[in-house]
Amino acid sequence: MKHLFGLLVCSVVTATLATSALGQTASEQTEPAGSTVGTVVSVSRQTMTLRTGDNQFQLFVFNNNMVRPKGLTAGSRIRVESSATDEPGVRLATRVTVLEPATTTPSGTAQDMAPPPKEVRDVEREIERQARRWQLGVRIGAGLDPELFLLGVHAGIGPIFSRDFYFRPNAEFAFGELTDMVALNLEGAYRLPISFRHGRWSAYVGAGPGLNFVHQGIGRRDIDFGNFDYDTSLNVFSGLRFRRGTFVEVKTSLWAPAVPTLRLIFGYTF
Confidence label for 194 from pLDDT (cuts 50, 70 and 90)? confident
Higher per-residue pLDDT: 262 or 67: 262
The DSSP code for 227 is G
Residue 234's contacts (CB-CB under 8 Å, 6 or more residues apart) are 207, 208, 209, 210, 253, 254, 255
Choose the weakest-confidence range: 12-16, 87-91, 137-141, 171-175.
12-16
Would you give the end-to-end CA distance of the chain in angstroms? 87
Residue 97's contacts (CB-CB under 8 Å, 6 or more residues apart) are 69, 78, 79, 80
User: Can you give the pLDDT at residue 170?
Assistant: 98
**Domain 35-130 of CATH type 2.40.50.140:** yes
Residue 264 reports pLDDT greater than 70: yes
Cα 184–186–188 angle (5° rounding)?
Answer: 145
- CA atoms of 105 and 27, how far apart (whole Å): 34
Mean of pLDDT values over 174-203:
92
In the chain, ranges of CATH 2.40.160.20 domains:
134-269
- CA atoms of 123 and 227, how far apart (whole Å): 49
Mean of pLDDT values over 249-262:
95
Mean of pLDDT values over 233-244:
96
Q: Report pTM.
A: 0.74
User: Can you give the pLDDT at residue 226?
Assistant: 65
- CA atoms of 62 and 251, how far apart (whole Å): 33
Residue in 157, 162, 168 with CA at minimum distance from that of residue 209:
168
Give domain 134-269's CATH number out of 3.40.50.2300, 1.10.3720.10, 3.40.50.300, 2.40.160.20. 2.40.160.20
Q: 227 φ, ψ to 5°? A: -95, 0
User: Can you give the pLDDT at residue 26?
Assistant: 37
- Buried/exposed 71-101: b ≥16 CB within 10 Å, e otherwise: ebebbbbbbbbbeebeeeebbbbbebebeee
How far CA 15 is from CA of 6, 12, 214, in Å, comes to 14, 5, 90
Residue 141 reports pLDDT greater than 90: yes
DSSP-derived pairing of the beta strands 246-254 and 77-84? unpaired
Higher per-residue pLDDT: 66 or 156: 156
- CA atoms of 251 and 261, how far apart (whole Å): 8
- CA atoms of 1 and 260, how far apart (whole Å): 103
Give how far the C-alpha of residue 21 lies from the chain's centroid of Cα atoms, to the nearest Å. Answer: 45
SS3 content of the chain, % helix, strand, coil (to 5): 15, 50, 35
Residue 104's contacts (CB-CB under 8 Å, 6 or more residues apart) are 110, 111
Write the single-letter amino acid at 209: P
In the chain, ranges of CATH 2.40.50.140 domains:
35-130
User: Can you give the pLDDT at residue 10?
Assistant: 47
Residue in 142, 147, 171 with CA at minimum distance from that of residue 251:
142
